[in-house]
Amino acid sequence: MMIQLPITLWAALLLSWLAGLAWCQSQHFLNQLNASIDGRVMKALPLAAPCYSNPDGAECTSLRERLASGYPGTFRTNKYQGFQLIQGEGCASDPSNQCLLNGTALAADTDTPCEQGIVSPRYVEVTSARDVQKVFDYARQSRATLSIKNSGHDYIMRSSRRGSLAIWTRGLQQRRYTPAFVPQGCSNRATPAQAVTFGAGVSMDEAFSFAHDNGVVFSGGSVGTIGASGGWLLNGGHGVLSGSLGLGVDRVLQFTIVTPDGKLRVVNRCTDSDLFWALRGGGGGSFGVILDSTHLVESEQPLTAVVLGFQGVASTQKRFVSILAENMPKWALAGWGGPSGPTYTALVNPYVNTSQAEKQLKPAIDHVKSQNGSALILSFANFFDFYTQVINNTSTAPETINTAVITTNRIIPERVFLNETSREEMVDAIMEAQDAGLPTAFLTTMPFLYGRSHPQPDTSLHPAWYKSVWTVGTTASWSPNSMIEERLALTKRLGEVTSKWKQIAPDGCSYANEADPWLGDWSAQFWGENYARLLRIKKKYDRDGLLSCWHCVGWDESLPDYECISGLAA
């Protein structure tokens, strides 16, 4: 006698069978990948997992000591599951889906389980083009999602993706100095130049040190753990020298990349020039996996720095910001660049001596001295000495231990500075955010002087970069044990700051690495009219849609596994 089962039960059984079949197929493809790369598909648990399984164990004790050392950045960079900010590990929109240490005691909340969050459950530390090609083959066959992590210094949660197989590039450590570099295929079209080549896993600290050892200066970023070939470069690449020397995308000469179609490519102005254009500003995580990048460098030379700091009250801080805003266009055109805030500035210039520096920056120096602050005018033999003694020493911000930090920013065109009303609105907005408990800094790191001599730089960045003086950034933060209501309130406040900056500088744009993660018109704000061309290039090299990341070229709301970000949209 045949048993008649309800249709709904048959449907449920069929769905269950199909799900089991899909899992078996997925495991088959994963096993194939693992065998093809000598068993290097690794499982990953969150960084704090040892403190949940054994709070008193040696592994947990060592982890706490490294995080509390004051400089946990390099420690995190050297582990796949190590991310600079906790939103790269835990699910930002679901505080129960995380595995983090709380408070200054770095205690595990053992009353709750250690959840995976958005840390990829498996990763491959790639060391060659073949590794990347095998991962792309696997994703094409299995339809598995991928993510790419370099250093994990990431505000917008692009370095991890829930449920993905992660491609980790830290193991790509090539370093080479070439006295007379000519890009491949450009022998008749390029003048030989000094250059350095860095594997994708080389950090700023490592890049600066290598360049110095060879007597040249690499114009990089201001945080030592950032990758020299990763998102910093691909989304612009600004630093204290980029005002006069140009951005990272202006100075990169060549990339070696594996594109999602599985091809190993050497990309420059002469070969795959459309892809070279896209990589110079179009962001990471979309066009392929960078294996290395080659950069223009110059012989080391002396430079002068002015480092100012004071405490003051709100009125004297506002006056300081006003002085900087009034003078910075002409100072930037004189070669000055660096970070500033309402109580400090650290500006450097390769073109002046100390007496010229004192004369040029006199209004700011006089104000700081009137507030009994510190005014240092320093001469350095080379950029590396400035980096080690100022950027990576006296001016180094404390590294976060167990904090989420989200940002918003605006790149501010010269027009705002030259119009008194607009300039005052800008200064007021900086102070209002600061007074509201949202730390705000303004960096003179735009290619302002460089843009005067290179009015058509031919990068894929928003054109406003080359007409701007400052990028202004505001941050908000939460702790691991914060409730969802607190996180939602912070994202709302940050969104209000974003809207304010767009009103003040509608002709400006946003820096994709530090933009409001919930920016509605993100593609227009990052790339302007360049986005349409970027999208065409993306589709050319990634026909199967193997690569995606939040608010990257080709991203759309239908893509799965981004709920931990989208769930906090105000």
pLDDT in tens, 105-125: 899 988 899 999 999 999 999
Is the confidence at residue 17, as pLDDT, over 60?
Answer: no
Q: Which residues lie closer than 8 Å to 461 by C-beta, 6 or more apart?
A: 236, 247, 249, 280, 281, 527, 530
Q: How confident is the model at residue 393 (pLDDT cuts 50, 70, 90)?
A: confident
Instruction: Summarize the confidence of residues 237-246 as an average pLDDT.
Output: 97
Give the tens place of pLDDT for each residue, 525-548.
999 999 999 999 999 999 999 999
Residues 143, 187: contact at Cβ < 8 Å?
no
Strand pairing of 146-149 and 165-168? Answer: parallel
What's residue 69's pLDDT? 84
Instruction: State pTM to two decimals.
Output: 0.95
The DSSP-derived string for 186-200 is: -TTT---EEEEEEET
Question: Could you give the CA distance from residue 245 to residue 247 in angstroms, rounded to a whole number?
Answer: 7
Question: Could you give the CA distance from residue 570 to residue 563 in angstroms, rounded to a whole number?
Answer: 13
The pLDDT > 70 percentage for the chain reads 95
What's residue 471's pLDDT? 98
Instruction: Summarize the confidence of residues 216-239 as an average pLDDT.
Output: 96
- CB neighbours (10 Å) of residue 423? 18
Q: How many residues does the chain have?
A: 570
- CB neighbours (10 Å) of residue 42? 16
Give the tens place of pLDDT for each residue, 40-54.
999 999 999 999 999
Is the confidence at residue 404, as pLDDT, over 90?
Answer: yes
Give the tens place of pLDDT for each residue, 256-290.
999 999 999 999 999 999 999 999 999 999 999 99
Question: Could you give the CA distance from residue 375 to residue 47 in angstroms, rounded to a whole number?
Answer: 42
Q: Which of 376, 394, 369 is nearest to 316 (CA)?
A: 369
334-214-195 Cα angle (round to 5): 70
Residues 559, 548: contact at Cβ < 8 Å?
yes
> Can you tell me which residue has the tokens 């004192």?
358
Instruction: Summarize the confidence of residues 314-337 as an average pLDDT.
Output: 98
What's residue 110's pLDDT? 82
Residues 237, 245: contact at Cβ < 8 Å?
no
Instruction: Summarize the confidence of residues 185-214 as an average pLDDT.
Output: 96
What's residue 20's pLDDT? 57
Helix (H, G, I), strand (E, B) or coil at 507: coil
What's residue 400's pLDDT? 77
Instruction: Summarize the confidence of residues 192-218 as an average pLDDT.
Output: 97
Q: Please give the structure tokens belonging to residue 114.
A: 């250690």
Is the confidence at residue 164, as pLDDT, over 50?
Answer: yes
What's residue 21's pLDDT? 47
Question: Could you give the CA distance from residue 545 to residue 554 in angstroms, rounded to a whole number?
Answer: 8
Instruction: Summarize the confidence of residues 420-424 as an average pLDDT.
Output: 98
